[in-house]
Structure 1
Protein backbone atom coordinates (compact mmCIF):
# COMPACT_ATOMS: atom_id res chain seq x y z
CA UNK A 1 0.00 0.00 0.00
CA UNK A 2 1.35 3.42 -1.01
CA UNK A 3 4.78 1.86 -1.68
CA UNK A 4 5.71 1.88 2.02
CA UNK A 5 7.44 -1.05 3.70
CA UNK A 6 5.22 -0.54 6.74
CA UNK A 7 2.01 1.44 6.95
CA UNK A 8 1.36 1.55 10.67
CA UNK A 9 0.75 5.06 12.01
CA UNK A 10 4.19 5.48 13.62
CA UNK A 11 5.98 4.40 10.43
CA UNK A 12 3.97 6.87 8.37
CA UNK A 13 4.81 9.64 10.84
CA UNK A 14 8.51 8.78 10.45
CA UNK A 15 8.12 8.96 6.67
CA UNK A 16 7.40 12.68 7.02
CA UNK A 17 11.20 13.06 7.26
CA UNK A 18 11.71 11.53 3.80
CA UNK A 19 11.22 14.07 0.98
CA UNK A 20 10.19 11.25 -1.37
CA UNK A 21 7.52 9.87 0.96
CA UNK A 22 6.45 12.89 3.00
CA UNK A 23 3.49 13.94 0.85
CA UNK A 24 1.86 10.51 0.48
CA UNK A 25 2.52 9.77 4.17
CA UNK A 26 0.94 13.08 5.18
CA UNK A 27 -2.09 12.45 2.95
CA UNK A 28 -2.55 8.93 4.30
CA UNK A 29 -2.30 10.10 7.90
CA UNK A 30 -4.82 12.84 7.21
CA UNK A 31 -7.12 10.35 5.49
CA UNK A 32 -6.98 8.04 8.53
CA UNK A 33 -8.35 10.84 10.69
CA UNK A 34 -8.60 10.98 14.45
CA UNK A 35 -7.25 7.46 14.90
CA UNK A 36 -3.70 8.69 14.19
CA UNK A 37 -3.66 11.51 16.73
CA UNK A 38 -1.61 9.57 19.28
CA UNK A 39 1.09 8.79 16.69
CA UNK A 40 1.04 12.38 15.42
CA UNK A 41 1.33 13.74 18.95
CA UNK A 42 4.30 11.42 19.55
CA UNK A 43 5.85 12.72 16.32
CA UNK A 44 6.08 16.19 17.86
CA UNK A 45 9.13 14.96 19.79
CA UNK A 46 10.79 13.32 16.78
CA UNK A 47 14.47 14.31 16.30
CA UNK A 48 13.83 15.35 12.66
CA UNK A 49 12.32 18.84 12.26
CA UNK A 50 10.46 17.80 9.09
CA UNK A 51 8.52 15.23 11.12
CA UNK A 52 7.72 17.76 13.85
CA UNK A 53 6.59 20.28 11.22
CA UNK A 54 4.39 17.71 9.47
CA UNK A 55 2.85 16.70 12.77
CA UNK A 56 2.01 20.33 13.56
CA UNK A 57 0.39 20.65 10.14
CA UNK A 58 -1.58 17.44 10.72
CA UNK A 59 -2.76 18.68 14.10
CA UNK A 60 -4.10 21.77 12.36
CA UNK A 61 -6.69 19.44 10.83
CA UNK A 62 -6.93 16.64 13.39
CA UNK A 63 -6.58 18.74 16.52
CA UNK A 64 -8.27 17.76 19.74
CA UNK A 65 -8.29 19.34 23.16
CA UNK A 66 -5.69 16.90 24.50
CA UNK A 67 -3.22 17.94 21.76
CA UNK A 68 -3.30 21.65 22.56
CA UNK A 69 -0.59 21.68 25.26
CA UNK A 70 1.82 19.81 22.97
CA UNK A 71 1.02 22.09 20.06
CA UNK A 72 1.56 25.19 22.22
CA UNK A 73 4.95 23.78 23.27
CA UNK A 74 5.92 23.50 19.59
CA UNK A 75 5.79 27.30 19.32
CA UNK A 76 9.18 27.22 21.07
CA UNK A 77 10.74 24.55 18.82
CA UNK A 78 14.34 25.31 17.76
CA UNK A 79 13.39 25.01 14.06
CA UNK A 80 11.60 28.00 12.51
CA UNK A 81 9.56 25.84 10.12
CA UNK A 82 8.11 23.98 13.10
CA UNK A 83 7.31 27.24 14.91
CA UNK A 84 5.55 28.56 11.77
CA UNK A 85 3.45 25.38 11.50
CA UNK A 86 2.63 25.47 15.22
CA UNK A 87 1.54 29.11 15.14
CA UNK A 88 -0.53 28.47 12.04
CA UNK A 89 -2.26 25.52 13.69
CA UNK A 90 -2.94 27.58 16.81
CA UNK A 91 -4.25 30.58 14.87
CA UNK A 92 -6.27 28.81 12.17
CA UNK A 93 -9.93 28.34 13.02
CA UNK A 94 -10.95 27.11 9.57
CA UNK A 95 -10.65 23.44 10.55
CA UNK A 96 -11.36 23.77 14.26
CA UNK A 97 -14.07 26.32 14.79
CA UNK A 98 -14.38 27.24 18.44
CA UNK A 99 -14.60 23.65 19.62
CA UNK A 100 -11.03 23.47 20.90
CA UNK A 101 -9.38 26.72 19.88
CA UNK A 102 -7.07 27.71 22.74
CA UNK A 103 -7.80 30.88 24.65
CA UNK A 104 -5.58 33.87 25.29
CA UNK A 105 -4.62 32.50 28.70
CA UNK A 106 -2.78 29.65 26.94
CA UNK A 107 -1.39 31.10 23.71
CA UNK A 108 -1.12 34.86 23.92
CA UNK A 109 2.12 34.97 25.96
CA UNK A 110 4.13 32.77 23.55
CA UNK A 111 2.66 34.61 20.57
CA UNK A 112 3.56 38.03 22.01
CA UNK A 113 7.09 36.84 22.80
CA UNK A 114 7.70 35.47 19.32
CA UNK A 115 6.11 38.47 17.62
CA UNK A 116 8.58 40.72 19.44
CA UNK A 117 11.75 38.64 19.43
CA UNK A 118 11.76 35.67 17.05
CA UNK A 119 14.66 35.69 14.59
CA UNK A 120 12.45 34.43 11.74
CA UNK A 121 10.18 36.90 9.92
CA UNK A 122 7.89 33.99 8.97
CA UNK A 123 7.44 33.06 12.62
CA UNK A 124 6.80 36.69 13.58
CA UNK A 125 4.24 36.89 10.78
CA UNK A 126 2.38 33.80 12.01
CA UNK A 127 2.61 35.05 15.59
CA UNK A 128 0.94 38.29 14.42
CA UNK A 129 -2.04 36.25 13.22
CA UNK A 130 -2.38 34.55 16.57
CA UNK A 131 -1.97 37.82 18.48
CA UNK A 132 -4.56 39.34 16.13
CA UNK A 133 -7.19 36.87 17.34
CA UNK A 134 -7.12 38.61 20.72
CA UNK A 135 -6.74 42.25 19.65
CA UNK A 136 -10.34 43.12 20.55
CA UNK A 137 -10.15 41.65 24.04
CA UNK A 138 -6.59 42.22 25.26
CA UNK A 139 -4.76 45.57 25.25
CA UNK A 140 -1.39 43.78 25.14
CA UNK A 141 -2.31 42.31 21.77
CA UNK A 142 -3.20 45.72 20.34
CA UNK A 143 0.01 47.28 21.69
CA UNK A 144 2.18 44.46 20.33
CA UNK A 145 0.62 44.68 16.88
CA UNK A 146 1.06 48.46 16.84
CA UNK A 147 4.73 48.06 17.80
CA UNK A 148 5.24 45.42 15.13
CA UNK A 149 3.41 47.49 12.51
CA UNK A 150 5.80 50.39 13.00
CA UNK A 151 9.02 48.77 14.17
CA UNK A 152 9.49 45.27 12.77
CA UNK A 153 12.53 45.03 10.48
CA UNK A 154 10.56 42.94 7.95
CA UNK A 155 8.19 44.76 5.56
CA UNK A 156 6.07 41.59 5.33
CA UNK A 157 5.65 41.41 9.11
CA UNK A 158 4.87 45.14 9.31
CA UNK A 159 2.19 44.66 6.63
CA UNK A 160 0.57 41.67 8.32
CA UNK A 161 0.66 43.39 11.71
CA UNK A 162 -1.03 46.42 10.15
CA UNK A 163 -3.97 44.24 9.05
CA UNK A 164 -4.58 43.02 12.61
CA UNK A 165 -3.66 46.23 14.47
CA UNK A 166 -6.39 48.70 15.46
CA UNK A 167 -7.71 50.36 12.31
CA UNK A 168 -6.41 47.61 10.00
CA UNK A 169 -8.58 45.72 7.54
CA UNK A 170 -8.81 42.48 9.53
CA UNK A 171 -9.22 44.41 12.77
CA UNK A 172 -12.25 46.20 11.30
CA UNK A 173 -13.70 43.02 9.78
CA UNK A 174 -13.44 41.09 13.06
CA UNK A 175 -14.64 43.88 15.34
CA UNK A 176 -17.56 42.88 17.54
CA UNK A 177 -20.78 44.54 16.42
CA UNK A 178 -21.67 47.78 18.11
CA UNK A 179 -25.23 48.33 19.35
CA UNK A 180 -27.50 49.67 16.63
CA UNK A 181 -25.18 48.68 13.80
CA UNK A 182 -25.41 45.47 11.83
CA UNK A 183 -22.10 43.67 11.20
CA UNK A 184 -20.58 44.36 7.80
CA UNK A 185 -22.36 47.68 7.25
CA UNK A 186 -20.71 51.03 7.28
CA UNK A 187 -22.19 53.77 9.42
CA UNK A 188 -24.25 56.27 7.47
CA UNK A 189 -22.89 59.75 7.03
Structure 2
Protein backbone atom coordinates (compact mmCIF):
# COMPACT_ATOMS: atom_id res chain seq x y z
CA UNK A 1 0.00 0.00 0.00
CA UNK A 2 1.36 3.42 -0.99
CA UNK A 3 1.07 5.99 1.76
CA UNK A 4 0.18 9.44 0.52
CA UNK A 5 2.14 12.31 1.89
CA UNK A 6 -0.15 14.76 3.61
CA UNK A 7 -0.22 18.43 2.68
CA UNK A 8 0.85 19.23 6.22
CA UNK A 9 3.89 17.00 5.91
CA UNK A 10 4.86 18.56 2.59
CA UNK A 11 4.44 22.01 4.05
CA UNK A 12 6.45 21.05 7.09
CA UNK A 13 9.26 19.68 4.93
CA UNK A 14 9.32 22.79 2.77
CA UNK A 15 9.40 25.01 5.82
CA UNK A 16 12.22 23.02 7.36
CA UNK A 17 14.26 23.23 4.14
CA UNK A 18 13.60 26.96 3.91
CA UNK A 19 14.65 27.51 7.50
CA UNK A 20 17.82 25.46 6.98
CA UNK A 21 18.69 27.35 3.81
CA UNK A 22 17.99 30.63 5.59
CA UNK A 23 20.26 29.73 8.49
CA UNK A 24 23.05 28.76 6.11
CA UNK A 25 22.62 32.00 4.15
CA UNK A 26 22.68 34.08 7.33
CA UNK A 27 25.89 32.40 8.45
CA UNK A 28 27.56 33.00 5.07
CA UNK A 29 26.52 36.66 5.06
CA UNK A 30 27.72 37.11 8.64
CA UNK A 31 31.03 35.43 7.80
CA UNK A 32 31.49 37.75 4.80
CA UNK A 33 31.04 40.77 7.05
CA UNK A 34 33.28 39.52 9.86
CA UNK A 35 36.06 38.26 7.57
CA UNK A 36 35.97 41.60 5.71
CA UNK A 37 36.34 43.51 8.97
CA UNK A 38 38.79 41.28 10.84
CA UNK A 39 40.42 38.94 8.33
CA UNK A 40 40.33 35.17 8.59
CA UNK A 41 42.86 34.72 11.38
CA UNK A 42 41.37 37.23 13.80
CA UNK A 43 37.73 36.44 13.06
CA UNK A 44 36.06 34.59 15.90
CA UNK A 45 33.34 31.98 15.67
CA UNK A 46 31.46 33.88 18.36
CA UNK A 47 31.54 37.07 16.25
CA UNK A 48 30.12 35.28 13.22
CA UNK A 49 27.43 33.55 15.24
CA UNK A 50 26.41 36.78 16.94
CA UNK A 51 26.22 38.60 13.60
CA UNK A 52 24.12 35.82 12.05
CA UNK A 53 21.67 35.45 14.91
CA UNK A 54 22.29 31.69 14.88
CA UNK A 55 24.09 29.40 17.29
CA UNK A 56 27.55 27.87 17.48
CA UNK A 57 25.91 24.50 17.01
CA UNK A 58 24.28 25.67 13.77
CA UNK A 59 27.60 26.87 12.41
CA UNK A 60 29.31 23.57 13.12
CA UNK A 61 26.31 21.63 11.82
CA UNK A 62 26.27 23.45 8.48
CA UNK A 63 29.97 23.99 7.93
CA UNK A 64 32.10 22.11 10.44
CA UNK A 65 34.27 25.05 11.53
CA UNK A 66 35.78 28.39 10.59
CA UNK A 67 38.00 27.05 7.82
CA UNK A 68 35.14 25.16 6.18
CA UNK A 69 32.95 28.24 6.49
CA UNK A 70 35.60 30.36 4.75
CA UNK A 71 35.89 27.84 1.90
CA UNK A 72 32.09 27.61 1.60
CA UNK A 73 31.90 31.41 1.42
CA UNK A 74 34.48 31.49 -1.35
CA UNK A 75 32.69 28.72 -3.23
CA UNK A 76 29.39 30.58 -2.89
CA UNK A 77 31.06 33.77 -4.15
CA UNK A 78 32.61 32.06 -7.17
CA UNK A 79 29.40 30.21 -8.02
CA UNK A 80 27.45 33.46 -8.04
CA UNK A 81 30.11 35.01 -10.27
CA UNK A 82 29.75 32.13 -12.71
CA UNK A 83 25.95 32.22 -12.60
CA UNK A 84 25.82 35.93 -13.40
CA UNK A 85 28.42 35.65 -16.17
CA UNK A 86 26.57 32.73 -17.78
CA UNK A 87 23.28 34.62 -17.58
CA UNK A 88 24.80 37.74 -19.16
CA UNK A 89 26.34 35.74 -22.01
CA UNK A 90 23.10 33.82 -22.59
CA UNK A 91 21.13 37.09 -22.72
CA UNK A 92 23.56 38.53 -25.27
CA UNK A 93 23.24 35.42 -27.41
CA UNK A 94 19.44 35.65 -27.31
CA UNK A 95 19.78 39.24 -28.52
CA UNK A 96 21.68 37.99 -31.55
CA UNK A 97 25.30 38.44 -30.51
CA UNK A 98 27.51 35.64 -31.80
CA UNK A 99 31.02 37.10 -31.88
CA UNK A 100 33.10 35.15 -29.33
CA UNK A 101 35.14 38.17 -28.20
CA UNK A 102 32.02 40.31 -27.78
CA UNK A 103 30.41 37.57 -25.72
CA UNK A 104 33.56 37.24 -23.64
CA UNK A 105 33.52 40.98 -22.98
CA UNK A 106 29.89 40.82 -21.90
CA UNK A 107 30.74 38.07 -19.46
CA UNK A 108 33.79 39.96 -18.22
CA UNK A 109 31.75 43.08 -17.57
CA UNK A 110 29.33 41.06 -15.48
CA UNK A 111 32.27 39.56 -13.60
CA UNK A 112 33.74 42.98 -12.88
CA UNK A 113 30.40 44.46 -11.84
CA UNK A 114 29.88 41.76 -9.24
CA UNK A 115 33.48 42.08 -8.05
CA UNK A 116 33.05 45.82 -7.52
CA UNK A 117 29.76 45.33 -5.71
CA UNK A 118 31.43 42.83 -3.36
CA UNK A 119 34.90 44.34 -3.35
CA UNK A 120 35.33 44.03 0.43
CA UNK A 121 34.84 40.27 0.17
CA UNK A 122 37.10 40.00 -2.87
CA UNK A 123 39.85 41.66 -0.86
CA UNK A 124 39.47 38.98 1.81
CA UNK A 125 40.30 36.33 -0.78
CA UNK A 126 43.26 38.11 -2.37
CA UNK A 127 45.13 39.65 0.55
CA UNK A 128 46.68 36.44 1.86
CA UNK A 129 44.97 35.93 5.23
CA UNK A 130 43.37 32.64 4.23
CA UNK A 131 43.22 29.11 5.66
CA UNK A 132 45.70 26.37 4.66
CA UNK A 133 44.86 24.74 1.34
CA UNK A 134 42.94 27.70 -0.03
CA UNK A 135 45.50 28.55 -2.70
CA UNK A 136 45.37 24.99 -4.04
CA UNK A 137 41.59 25.19 -4.40
CA UNK A 138 41.84 28.59 -6.05
CA UNK A 139 44.36 27.31 -8.60
CA UNK A 140 42.11 24.34 -9.40
CA UNK A 141 39.16 26.68 -9.94
CA UNK A 142 41.38 28.87 -12.09
CA UNK A 143 42.23 25.98 -14.39
CA UNK A 144 38.55 25.22 -14.81
CA UNK A 145 37.94 28.87 -15.67
CA UNK A 146 40.61 28.68 -18.37
CA UNK A 147 38.81 25.68 -19.89
CA UNK A 148 35.50 27.56 -19.88
CA UNK A 149 37.05 30.61 -21.50
CA UNK A 150 38.66 28.43 -24.16
CA UNK A 151 35.22 27.14 -25.14
CA UNK A 152 33.66 30.61 -25.11
CA UNK A 153 36.44 32.18 -27.19
CA UNK A 154 36.69 29.19 -29.54
CA UNK A 155 40.48 29.21 -29.48
CA UNK A 156 42.64 26.52 -31.00
CA UNK A 157 43.74 23.62 -28.82
CA UNK A 158 47.41 23.90 -29.71
CA UNK A 159 50.02 25.25 -27.31
CA UNK A 160 49.68 28.85 -28.50
CA UNK A 161 45.90 28.71 -28.18
CA UNK A 162 46.02 27.29 -24.66
CA UNK A 163 48.60 29.82 -23.52
CA UNK A 164 46.64 32.68 -25.04
CA UNK A 165 43.50 31.73 -23.11
CA UNK A 166 45.51 31.25 -19.93
CA UNK A 167 47.01 34.74 -20.28
CA UNK A 168 43.59 36.26 -21.06
CA UNK A 169 42.14 34.56 -17.99
CA UNK A 170 45.01 35.90 -15.89
CA UNK A 171 44.29 39.41 -17.20
CA UNK A 172 40.69 39.16 -16.04
CA UNK A 173 41.77 37.72 -12.69
CA UNK A 174 44.32 40.45 -12.01
CA UNK A 175 41.98 43.14 -13.31
CA UNK A 176 39.28 41.84 -10.97
CA UNK A 177 41.68 42.19 -8.06
CA UNK A 178 42.54 45.72 -9.15
CA UNK A 179 38.84 46.54 -9.37
CA UNK A 180 38.38 45.35 -5.78
CA UNK A 181 41.31 47.49 -4.64
CA UNK A 182 40.14 50.60 -6.51
CA UNK A 183 39.17 53.62 -4.43
CA UNK A 184 36.42 54.83 -6.77
CA UNK A 185 34.11 53.44 -9.42
CA UNK A 186 35.82 55.61 -12.00
CA UNK A 187 39.18 54.06 -11.13
CA UNK A 188 37.61 50.60 -11.34
CA UNK A 189 36.11 51.42 -14.75
CA UNK A 190 39.54 52.48 -16.02
CA UNK A 191 40.87 49.06 -15.00
CA UNK A 192 37.99 47.31 -16.77
CA UNK A 193 38.53 49.30 -19.97
CA UNK A 194 42.27 48.62 -19.93
CA UNK A 195 41.62 44.90 -19.47
CA UNK A 196 39.27 44.91 -22.48
CA UNK A 197 41.99 46.51 -24.62
CA UNK A 198 44.57 43.92 -23.57
CA UNK A 199 42.18 41.04 -24.19
CA UNK A 200 41.32 42.39 -27.66
CA UNK A 201 45.02 42.59 -28.55
CA UNK A 202 45.62 38.99 -27.52
CA UNK A 203 42.45 37.56 -29.01
CA UNK A 204 42.69 39.48 -32.25
How does the TM-score come out when normalised to structure 1? Answer: 0.35
Tell which has more relative contact order, 1 or 2 (C-alpha 8 A, sep 6+).
2
| Structure number, greater radius of gyration | 2
Higher percent of residues as helix: 2
